[in-house]
Amino acid sequence: MSFRNKFHSIYPPFRVLFKTYSHSLVYCYSDCRLSKDHRMFSKEDTLAGSTCLHHGDGWGRKYFAVGLKEWILFVAIMQHPLDVSYFGISGWYILLFMGILSLGFFTYQVQKATRLVLLGAKDNRFDSWGARMKETATVWLGQKKVLEDPVAGAMHVLMFWGFLMLSSDMLDLASGNRFSEHILPSILNPIWNGMVELGYTSALIGCFLALNRRILFTPEKLKGKSQLEGNVILLLIMTICTTSYVIEAGEGPDPTYEMIGYWVSQTFTITQSLVNWAYWAHMVAICTFLFLIPLSKHMHLVMALPNVFFFDTEPMAKMRPLQTDENGTAVPLDELDLESFGAASYTQLSWRSLIDGWACTSCARCQDVCPAYASGKALNPMQIIHDVRGYANEHAELLFKGEAPEEDIISRFSESAIWACTTCNACVDVCPVNIEHVPKLTDARRHLMMERMEFDESVEDTVMPLMMTIENLESDSNPYGIPMHERGDWAADLDVKVAEPAEYIYFAGCAASFDERNKKVARDTISIMKEAGLDVGILGMQEGCTGDAARRAGNEYLFQMLAETNLATFEEIGVKKIVSSCPHCFHTLGTEYKDFGGQDIEVMHHSQLINHLQQEGKLPEPNHDGKITYHDPCYLGRIGGEMEAPRSAIGGVDIETENHGRGSFCCGAGGAQMWMEEHVDEGYDRVNIIRSKELAATGADTVAVGCPFCSTMVTDGLSSIGSEMEVKDIAEIVWEQIKANDAKIQASKGEEE
């Protein structure tokens, strides 16, 4: 039996503290600073009950000295703060009372939030367990997305990992050290003590840095907002951490594993009363923390884990059909059996969507990257998530009774915010806890478009042009209202197969079929494919709109009608490989059509095919003149995950914009915004102007794009700010390079002749 366990068995109510010296003299450990004048006894003196020469016989604390060869083991016995009586009340009873109050309140609030979440609609998030475990390990435990913001992320990681390491010590302190002395194997004690101290230290450093950042170096997004809640939480955590060192110092810390606690024990006078004060300050801070967690944004400490675990395993931005069968396939239009469309009430949002409200950390990263928010519109994606929780808490009594509050969730969001979204999914991409902002807005649009069919006065001017687009899609399968028989006219002189089987079908899309500027892109793409010797065809008048705009606008019925029509055409012609120069077509055909029967069709963006052909040597190596920058389309880069192929296809980018790749800033056309009227308040720029200014700031000569809508928006934006930068599609740049290369070859042959 070790000396620690031996003395603990003799004096069970007491904390047994140890200090070992190999010197000839041993000094007072607990209440005196070590000093040669404060000698206690020599190594020859092994009598129990010796008293400190400095304090004398009236010191009031019993000490034991045990001789062990040339070592002296000095033991001070200090009572655990829980074993001390305060005004005649045992510390155990005091802690029990505090624990019942704080844990009871905490548990009540957590179960209330859980009940509110479970009121949501069904959503199968219990598949793909391997992917979910991996996501939890990387995003929650590994803090992968948190660290994408290196400054704030590093602070949060220190606090998060610190809390994970120190959490077991809270149990140990609350149990009177039963965990460390009776449950934890003694061989692991030093390592555990070291881990706990490291946890307290990490959390303390993280909190200190975060508090300084909030007070001295306040980020713009936090200015003008109350910091009281966050600062109180940080101060509570710092209290928990600093008091732990004092408690640790009173336990006889190991100088190897508990260096800070050891330093405190050697530097300061550690008395029973000081340890008692530190212990109760520690416990009061923890109990206060438990009270505040469910009432503040720090509820994410509880809800972030399930939010991350139940993430959407489907590709980003993939919308769900109105109704699916047992295999997850969309139910055909003529078999739909639905009583309502979209989400107008709180309970029509899925349970997973509702967790978001309590998982939000209020970090404002979604707000920072939102193009609608940047242009001064009503939409703030963070506020949408706050609205979910706020609405639930305000109407909890009615919701639990199964009654519908007079205010619906659409009113809480506001139609102005709902129709401002570009569905660029930047908010979803940057969220450190996998919150899904966009589906809440598109579900609300479905209800407004398919069921309510009326719009608030505040958005009438914005949405009315969209209604004309919807009518055009219904009648002519394109948003321009141009007759379908003209859809293939752009390729009249290209000698290309039309509505015939071919290895590759070029799906032109509406913009490249009818917009004069983008017809050239379609022609150049076909020319490139033929230059590479590919068997290529188009669908001509049999091609219909993919339905992207209809779906993002909320008209899911129209989208499904267009999808089923196109898929029937694909099956009739035998389409297996599709190439598109429109990222919206690329995403819709390649990702969303899979729910309707398009699982076996391979869909490529034209930049991917071009880059592949260059690598195979079927096209010359790219080489451009002048300085080029590249604008990443949201539905190709962030959503489609393709950033390299477009850059490689044009021979690289000379200078990147401030926001590029996954972090690219939206052009403003997505989410059916191309077909709505954009209004901005004085002092704000339109979304495409904001992006155009970023592009112009590069000083490049040319902006390469990979989307017909981006081309339109960026061209208009650059013109508005007086920039002379050229806007060219990837296909245009590559085809110019090919023609220039052919001209050089012909010129070289002419010189040889």
Task: State the pLDDT at residue 37.
Answer: 34
Residue 314 scores a pLDDT above 90: yes
Q: Provide the 3-class DSSP secondary structure of residue 381.
A: helix
The rounded distance, in Å, linking the Cα atoms of 251 and 264 is 11
Q: Tell me what the mean pLDDT of segment 638-642 comes to.
A: 98
Does 131 fall in a domain? yes
- 18 and 136 share one domain: no
Does 117 fall in a domain? no
The rounded distance, in Å, linking the Cα atoms of 641 and 663 is 11
Name the pLDDT band for 220 (thresholds 50, 70, 90).
confident
- The one-letter code for the residue type at 592 is E
Rg (CA), the chain: 34
- 507 and 645 share one domain: yes
Residue 55 scores a pLDDT above 60: no
Task: State the pLDDT at residue 34.
Answer: 35
The rounded distance, in Å, linking the Cα atoms of 406 and 418 is 19
- 349 and 447 share one domain: yes
Nearest 10 degrees: Cα torsion 63, 67, 71, 74: -10
Does 498 fall in a domain? yes
Least confident of 266-275, 392-401, 684-693: 266-275
Task: State the pLDDT at residue 30.
Answer: 38
Task: State the pLDDT at residue 71.
Answer: 35
Q: Match 């290369």 to its residue by tokens.
A: 741
The range of the structural domain enclosing residue 44 comes to: 3-79
Tell me the pTM: 0.87
Where would I find the beta strands (DSSP E) of 632-714? 702-705
Which of 189 and 36 is assigned the larger pLDDT? 189
Residue 325: both structure tokens together: 């069968």
Task: State the pLDDT at residue 255.
Answer: 85
pLDDT in tens, 492-522: 999 999 999 999 999 999 999 999 999 999 9
Residue 419 scores a pLDDT above 80: yes
Q: Match 């509570």 to its residue by tokens.
A: 236
Residue ending a domain, choose from 251, 283, 307: 307
Q: Answer whether 427's CB lies under 8 Å from 389's CB.
A: no
Which of 73 and 358 is assigned the larger pLDDT? 358
Does 735 fall in a domain? yes
Kindly tell me the burial class for residue 485, based on how many C-beta atoms sit within 10 Å of its own C-beta (0-12, 13-18, 19 or more): exposed
- 265 and 221 share one domain: yes
What secondary structure does DSSP assign to 172-238, as a single string?
HHHTTSHIIIIIS-GGGHHHHHHHHHHHHHHHHHHHHHHHHHHHTS--GGGTTS--HHHHHHHHHHH
Does 577 fall in a domain? yes
Nearest 10 degrees: Cα torsion 167, 172, 173, 178: 170
Q: Tell me what the mean pLDDT of segment 151-165 comes to.
A: 94
Q: Tell me what the mean pLDDT of segment 263-283 comes to.
A: 93
- 446 and 509 share one domain: no
Does 377 fall in a domain? yes
Name the pLDDT band for 4 (thresholds 50, 70, 90).
very low
- 476 and 381 share one domain: no
Name the pLDDT band for 72 (thresholds 50, 70, 90).
very low
Q: Tell me what the mean pLDDT of segment 473-487 comes to.
A: 96
CATH number at residue 442: 1.10.1060.10
pLDDT exceeding 70 applies to what percent of the chain? 89
Spatial neighbors of 723 by CB under 8 A, at least 6 apart, are 692, 695, 696
Helix ranges (H only) for 69-174 are 91-117, 129-135, 150-174
- 579 and 725 share one domain: yes
- 218 and 352 share one domain: no
Spatial neighbors of 598 by CB under 8 A, at least 6 apart, are 567, 570, 589
If we measure between CA atoms, which residue out of 228, 220, 231 comes closest to residue 364?
220
The rounded distance, in Å, linking the Cα atoms of 204 and 266 is 21
- 365 and 300 share one domain: no
Task: State the pLDDT at residue 181.
Answer: 83
pLDDT in tens, 449-472: 999 988 999 899 999 999 999 999
Q: Answer whether 416's CB lies under 8 Å from 456's CB.
A: yes
Residue 76 scores a pLDDT above 80: no
In whole numbers, what is the pLDDT of the chain averaged over residues? Answer: 89
pLDDT in tens, 703-741: 999 999 999 999 999 999 999 999 999 999 999 999 988
Q: Tell me what the mean pLDDT of segment 582-596 comes to.
A: 97
- 747 and 613 share one domain: yes
pLDDT in tens, 533-579: 999 999 999 999 999 999 999 999 999 999 999 999 999 999 999 99
Q: Match 């260059």 to its residue by tokens.
A: 614
pLDDT exceeding 90 applies to what percent of the chain? 78
- 263 and 138 share one domain: yes
pLDDT in tens, 325-342: 988 899 999 999 998 999
Does 318 fall in a domain? no
- 441 and 476 share one domain: no
Q: How far is CA 412 from the centre of its chain?
A: 23
Residue ending a domain, choose from 307, 326, 353: 307
The rounded distance, in Å, linking the Cα atoms of 555 and 547 is 9
Provide the residue count of the chain: 753
Residue 742: both structure tokens together: 């052919």
State the total domains in the chain.
Answer: 4
| Dihedral sign from CA coordinates of 558, 561, 564, 568 | negative
| Dihedral sign from CA coordinates of 650, 640, 718, 427 | negative
Does 8 fall in a domain? yes
Name the pLDDT band for 699 (thresholds 50, 70, 90).
very high
Task: State the pLDDT at residue 751.
Answer: 62
Q: Tell me what the mean pLDDT of segment 671-684 comes to.
A: 96
